[in-house]
Structure 1
Amino acid sequence: KNGPSLARVSVFETNKLSSNKLVGYCELDVFDFVVQEPELACKSFDLLDPASSSKVVGSIFLSCAIEDPVETEKRFAKRILSVVDYNEDGQLSFSEFSHLIRAFGNLVAANKKEELFRAADLNGDGVVTIDELAALLALQQEKEPIINNCPVCGEALQISDKLNAMIHMTLCFDEGTGNQKMTGGFLTDRQASYGWMFKLSEWTHLSTYDVGLNTGSSASHIVVIDRKTKRLVEELIDSKIVLSMRAIYQSKIGLRLMDQGAKEILQRLSEKQGKKMNSVESAQKIPNFLEFFKDQINMAEVKYPLQHFKTFNEFFIRELKPGARPIASRNRDDVAVCGADCRLMAFQSVEDSTRFWIKGRKFSIRGLLGKNVNPNAFLDGSLVIFRLAPQDYHRFHVPVSGVIEKFEDVSGSLYTVNPIAVNSKYCNVFTENKRTVAIISTLEFGKVAFVAIGATMVGSINFVRKEGDHVKKGDELGYFSFGGSTVICVFEKYSIRIDEDLLANSGRSLETLVSVGMQLGVSTRT
């Protein structure tokens, strides 16, 4: 219920030699569709033109059926049984059963195949039928799963995710049979367009643990969920940049280079790029930047017209028109709001954040805040990470109402804040990067630490408020110069109840695309 419920059905013209062509799509609410009346089981939907959602290019009929889980298990068991049912009699001898267990890639199960065969052969007739195999698989799934690898392609499966494993194996069973008229498992239209080049191992399901990053060092794309539309979207990153980030941040060799001088190179590169983006010539880059992010930057909400910006950096730190970012429950100071246009991760405790997202071995609240800020009020508090990408509005805002007690600058490196680095076990992005800590004192939440973190290409963190200022949630607090960067807010323990959808997405390692002013959570102290 807390995850995405809006599904997109895309129709492609397939092409085995290149990418598939998207010819139309429709969207439907899965929950509404599943619970509809039986007589409405088949429903017509308009197919919309990918280039213009107001243009209808055709129609598609969709139906759904709810199946007894037992029947699903039986049909699935039949497909598995067929892999080693060499004499096609619909049952497995001990020899065939042994081959199947070996194909599952589970050494523990392989070493006790006789025991498993006896457990499966309920009537003791010396063979295992479809029903008996289904019962065994269902039982073992609850106790100790025996399928580690796909018996068709040998791919390692996510043992904890039964549904995703079933999808993977079903697709393997159908490979080359002509039964792949409709294929599920793609997260975005862009992934589906990859066609035959898109590997089975990268097909994921919403219930998987790391759908957002698609598993660390093997990540080839980043998928986030748009909070407004409840749809998954793929973040645009140049493939060469992805490869270089993986080489640096996901390997011991890459991080060893950091220790041998690459940190200084990143620092000099950021300073050089900063000067370049402040030059008059840099304004020529704005049109190409807008073209690349044409679906993600809305010039209609920008305060000044394009010709107003004399340098790229002026455009990068652009202001928005008044009212472009409505503030949730503006008159209620017990409601905290999102402080940036960003991809957000939220955790009720620091322990959760390190379990699901931050993989650096040395991350701690003490390390994040620096040696000159007393961390005691924030230990094991709630953590919210606002990651800004280059295309985002780069001014950050106050998430709570209160008084700014102090600012504290912490020197450091300029690693990238991309999830590929944050998810790396070899570096500690948030505690090693250059950052500024602002402590905000509030009545409703106690103290809140607002940490603005620099990143590669972002050497400049600028605040427009000063110590002692009274601030209202939603007020502008500062901005980052060119690049992408991150803000982390730390709340005192048990002071905030973060919105459930944000916690649920973060629990799946799935960043949520949010805007300034959206509700973040509610105080537990009022």
Structure 2
Amino acid sequence: MKKWIYRFLIELTNHQFLSKLLKSFTQSKISKPFIKSYAKLYELNQDEMMNELHTYSTLHDLFTRKLKLHAREITQDQNAVTSPVDGVIEDYGTITPSKEIIVKGKSYSIQEMIGDKTKIDKYIGGDFIILYLSPKHYHRIHSPVTGKLIKQYALGTKSYPVNRHGLKYGRSPLAKNYRVVSEVDHNKGSLLIVKVGAMFINSVECTALSDTWVKGEEIAYFSFGSTVVLLFEKNTFSLNKDIQTPKDVKMGELLGYLID
């Protein structure tokens, strides 16, 4: 019953009109009076922001804020894989032989998530990590490895919540939400970075200027809280043993290591 009620309410509210209305509001100057209370509510760290709070003209500007230089340290080990975002590690595990990942006890089809069955086989038996960004987090996305972008494409239209309740009760949001999939080749194999849009505002803006990505370089940003899924080719990644779930991480912190 709880699952049905949750899904019904989300379906009721997640319509294109409301999405556009909320997006228009956050990008309009009429949202400026809400910036101060938003920063207070979510306890934003203003000391690390590139700009002073009063200089942001809209809530969208605040959502997509940049940080001061050196506000985040990037682990420099060549084989280190770093967090692409500030967020919470909600789950991690192994991609099953049935081409699925199990998140919060729920199965997600990798084929449905990435929309390309020709790429799946080499990821079976590989690792996955789910990183959730709430509205309070820094919303810019950075490359977790140094490598070359092979392919990038968008899938999906609607966006359902990707928080803990959304992952548990929603209709497979990681595989159905609007998302941008990036395939990156690195010195040990391949990595898929799936940037999943959140409820209402499903915008994922890609900002990388070339197809050669350097670890820690900005590659995209979300317009609101959302989720990043990392999918590693089999036998190419070893998870940092200190990681448990849920775990708060900052962009640049160690997730694990690439292996031969």
Check whether TM > 0.5.
Answer: yes
Q: Tell me how far apart the structure 2 counterparts of residues 420 and 414 of structure 1 sit (CA, whole Å).
A: 14
Match of 2:28, as an amino acid? S
Out of 371, 388, 398, which is 2:116 matched to? 371
Question: Does 1:320 find its partner at 2:67?
Answer: yes
- Contact 1:498/1:522, CA 8 A, preserved across alignment: yes
Aligned pairs (5 A) from 1:7-406: 250-255=2-7, 262=12, 265-294=14-43, 297-328=44-75, 330=76, 332-351=77-96, 354-355=101-102, 357-361=103-107, 363-371=108-116, 374-406=119-151
Question: Does 1:447 find its partner at 2:190?
Answer: yes
2:253 corresponds in structure 1 to: 518
Let me know the Cα RMSD of the aligned residues: 2.2
How far the C-alpha of 1:354 sits from its partner, in A, is 4.9
Q: Tell me how far apart the structure 2 counterparts of residues 514 and 313 of structure 1 sit (CA, whole Å).
A: 23
Question: Does 1:428 find its partner at 2:172?
Answer: yes
Match of 1:449, as an amino acid? L
Q: Tell me how far apart the structure 2 counterparts of residues 256 and 287 of structure 1 sit (CA, whole Å).
A: 33
How far the C-alpha of 1:471 sits from its partner, in A, is 1.1
- Contact 1:366/1:375, CA 8 A, preserved across alignment: yes
- Contact 2:159/2:201, CA 8 A, preserved across alignment: yes
- Contact 2:101/2:110, CA 8 A, preserved across alignment: no
How far the C-alpha of 1:269 sits from its partner, in A, is 1.9
Q: Tell me how far apart the structure 1 counterparts of residues 9 and 139 of structure 2 sit (CA, whole Å).
A: 30
1:242-281 Cα deviation digits (max 9, x unpaired)? xxxxx8xx423543566xx637x44332221011001111
SS of the equivalent of 2:242 reads helix
Name the CA shift for 1:313/1:441 in 2 (closer, same or farther; >3 Å).
same
Q: Tell me how far apart the structure 1 counterparts of residues 148 and 101 of structure 2 sit (CA, whole Å).
A: 30
Q: Tell me how far apart the structure 2 counterparts of residues 434 and 519 of structure 1 sit (CA, whole Å).
A: 28
Out of 465, 473, 486, which is 2:215 matched to? 473
Q: Tell me how far apart the structure 2 counterparts of residues 513 and 475 of structure 1 sit (CA, whole Å).
A: 21
Q: Tell me how far apart the structure 1 counterparts of residues 150 and 78 of structure 2 sit (CA, whole Å).
A: 18
- Contact 1:372/1:408, CA 8 A, preserved across alignment: no
Which protein is richer in strand relative to its size?
Answer: 2
Relative contact order, CA 8 A, sep 6+: which one is greater?
Answer: 2
Name the CA shift for 1:279/1:302 in 2 (closer, same or farther; >3 Å).
same
Match of 2:115, as an amino acid? G
Match of 1:414, as an amino acid? S
Q: Tell me how far apart the structure 1 counterparts of residues 118 and 20 of structure 2 sit (CA, whole Å).
A: 27
1:305-343 Cα deviation digits (max 9, x unpaired)? 122211110011000011000001x2x321110110000
Q: Tell me how far apart the structure 1 counterparts of residues 17 and 94 of structure 2 sit (CA, whole Å).
A: 36
Gaps of 5+ in 1: 1-246
Gaps of 5+ in 2: none
Q: Tell me how far apart the structure 1 counterparts of residues 254 and 56 of structure 2 sit (CA, whole Å).
A: 32
- Contact 2:143/2:213, CA 8 A, preserved across alignment: yes
1:202-232 Cα deviation digits (max 9, x unpaired)? xxxxxxxxxxxxxxxxxxxxxxxxxxxxxxx
| Bigger shift: residues 469-478 or 374-383 | 374-383
- Contact 2:125/2:234, CA 8 A, preserved across alignment: yes
SS of the equivalent of 2:119 reads coil
Q: Tell me how far apart the structure 1 counterparts of residues 221 and 138 of structure 2 sit (CA, whole Å).
A: 9
- Contact 1:338/1:514, CA 8 A, preserved across alignment: yes
Q: Tell me how far apart the structure 1 counterparts of residues 118 and 89 of structure 2 sit (CA, whole Å).
A: 25
- Contact 1:266/1:415, CA 8 A, preserved across alignment: no
SS of the equivalent of 1:501 reads coil
Number of residues of Structure 1 aligned to a counterpart in Structure 2 = 258
Q: Tell me how far apart the structure 1 counterparts of residues 238 and 54 of structure 2 sit (CA, whole Å).
A: 44
- Contact 2:126/2:233, CA 8 A, preserved across alignment: yes
SS of the equivalent of 1:493 reads coil
- Contact 1:274/1:459, CA 8 A, preserved across alignment: no
- Contact 2:87/2:250, CA 8 A, preserved across alignment: yes
Q: Tell me how far apart the structure 1 counterparts of residues 211 and 5 of structure 2 sit (CA, whole Å).
A: 46
Q: Tell me how far apart the structure 1 counterparts of residues 54 and 148 of structure 2 sit (CA, whole Å).
A: 37
Dislocated runs of 4+, deviation >4 Å = none
SS of the equivalent of 2:235 reads coil
Q: Tell me how far apart the structure 1 counterparts of residues 63 and 31 of structure 2 sit (CA, whole Å).
A: 11
1:278-313 Cα deviation digits (max 9, x unpaired)? 11110111111111122xx21111001122211110
- Contact 1:457/1:484, CA 8 A, preserved across alignment: no
Which protein is richer in helix relative to its size?
Answer: 1
1:96-122 Cα deviation digits (max 9, x unpaired)? xxxxxxxxxxxxxxxxxxxxxxxxxxx
- Contact 1:440/1:449, CA 8 A, preserved across alignment: yes
Match of 1:472, as an amino acid? V
Name the CA shift for 1:308/1:501 in 2 (closer, same or farther; >3 Å).
same
Match of 2:191, as an amino acid? V
Q: Tell me how far apart the structure 2 counterparts of residues 464 and 278 of structure 1 sit (CA, whole Å).
A: 18
- Contact 1:387/1:485, CA 8 A, preserved across alignment: yes
